[in-house]
Amino acid sequence: MQAHGLEDALGTPRLLTARDAGLLGCRACGRVSAAGTGACARCGARLASRDPTSLQRVWAWWLAGLIAYIPANLYPMLLTSRFGHVRENTIIGGALDLAHHGDYGVAAIVFAASVLIPVGKFLAIAYLALSLKLPTALGRHGRHRLHEVVEFIGRWSMIDVFVVAILSALVQFGFAATINPGIAAATFALSVAFTMLSAQSFDPRLIWDAEERDSR
Amino acid sequence: MAAPDPTGLIACPTCDALYRERRIGADEVARCRRCGTVLAAPQSGAMTRITMLAGAALVLMVAAVSFPFLELSEMGLQQRSSVVDAILAFSDGRTAPLSLALALLIVLLPAARLLALLYTLGPMALGWQPWRHAALAFRWAEKMRPWAMAEVFIVGVAVALVKVAGLATVTLGPAFWAFCLLVLITVRKDSIMCRLTVWKTLSERHAS
Ligand SMILES: [Zn+2]
Ligand SMILES: [Zn+2]
């Protein structure tokens, strides 16, 4: 038996969901409450069989994240001045600079954290939200895994913001060399935070509900 | 059909599948049969270990903030910076709100999370009754988890070191090592913590 120590509720051959049984499951602690309960008696979390505003919030944060991501790429992330000569580096420019110096590994990390992960996240969240209404190629296990990956990996995009902060704190040698943060650091950080909120707003139970409907 | 009695049932947080709860032994892993999410993975002595690790991490956090983090020297010029300096790097001009965000992500939220865990699990490890609002503290500790970014910060530091390597000589301060150790301890602590066990212990101790 895969689920050690756990039995199907009510001994039914088919797995039953809390909603099917007319009950409410708590997403924070797993406790099951009777329908109509407002807050979980064990942990105090707000209970909802399915969060009706989940998708609206997903799309609202998603759009906010996308809007913040545009200036993050257009404006400079880093202002480097050496002997009076000022250079402005955008996100992509910074990664290219590292590659020019031969630091391919680090360039790849920065590129993945600032370009691949954010863009991949926008696509993945949009796909997950749309897949609830439209037919999809990816099964429920695939989409469940995708949501897990998106939730896990999102925060790692913050790397570049931290890099800018450390460089700006360290390299303050007046005329010889000074590094200052650009406005893109702020909009990029906002974009990462918004997409994290978007992924968190997604109720993964919706993936499994949709599949159930299809198979009936 | 009338709804069944909810006592003794648990629902998978990811797919809502319903299970009747049985005693899950230490070092067993209970997975949802439908979606594979780990529902419970209790470990023997976990509460005591988590409490000790959280306490150690909190001490390291204080050290990481108060000692010099990195030191940079170029042509006789020296620049010493602490974690606080890195946070304050954004403090002037248009990026000022980012300073507050960095303080939260790197220091305040990780520290708050450690305090909340100590508050919830400390009494539990000693076999006492949970303190007031322990459930609230633990729920917030779990909510803060994705926003406590100490480990992301350390990777950022590594990238920054490579970037300045050609520019100047960098010396790693004691706070740097304190921060690295803090990250390792935090990861270890989170990997042995079983949410369901904490919640069950909290409610059982409250009832008694
Ligand atoms: Zn609950
Ligand atoms: Zn499940």
Report B:178-207 residues touching A (Cβ under 8 A): 195-196, 199, 202-203
CA distance B40 to B28: 8
Task: Indicate the number of domains in chain B.
Answer: 1
Residues of B with Cβ-Cβ distance to A128 under 8 angstroms: none
The C-alpha of A158 sits at a distance from chain B's nearest C-alpha, in angstroms, of 7
> Is B25 within a domain?
no
Predicted pLDDT of residue A4: 36
Helix (H) or strand (E) holding A208: helix A205-215
Q: Give the closest residue to B117 by CA, choosing from B130, B98, B99, B128.
A: B130
> Is B44 within a domain?
no
Percent residues over pLDDT 90 in chain B? 22
What are the b/e assignments for B25-59, b being 16+ CB within 10 Å? eeeebbbbbbbbbebbbbbeebbebbbbbbebbbe
Report B:3-42 residues touching A (Cβ under 8 A): 3-4, 6, 9-25, 28-36, 39-40
Least CA distance to A50: which residue of chain B? B16
Residue among B9, B74, B88 whose CB faces A176 most closely: B74
Q: A175 or B158: which carries more pLDDT confidence?
A: B158
Tens-level pLDDT at each residue, chain A (216 residues) = 334 345 555 455 567 888 888 888 898 888 898 888 888 888 888 888 888 889 999 999 999 999 999 999 999 988 888 887 888 888 888 888 888 888 888 888 888 888 899 999 999 999 999 988 887 778 888 888 999 999 998 899 898 899 888 888 888 777 777 888 888 989 999 999 999 999 999 998 888 886 565 554
Dump the DSSP string for A128-197.
Answer: HHHHTTS--SS-HHHHHHHHHHHHHHGGGGGHHHHHHHHHHHH-B-TTS-EEEE-HHHHHHHHHHHHHHH
Q: Give the closest residue to B101 by CA, choosing from B92, B91, B111.
A: B91
The residue-averaged pLDDT of B63-89 equals 82
pTM: 0.87
Residues of A with Cβ-Cβ distance to B75 under 8 angstroms: 173, 176
Average pLDDT, chain B: 85
Provide the 3-class DSSP secondary structure of residue A24: strand
> Is B175 within a domain?
yes
Residues of A with Cβ-Cβ distance to B70 under 8 angstroms: 166, 170
> Is B185 within a domain?
yes
- ipTM, interface predicted TM-score of the complex: 0.85
> Is B62 within a domain?
yes
Q: Do A207 and B199 touch (CB under 8 A)?
A: no
The dihedrals phi and psi of B35, each to the nearest 5 degrees, come to -115, -10
> Is B59 within a domain?
yes
Which domain, by its residues, includes B118?
Answer: 50-192
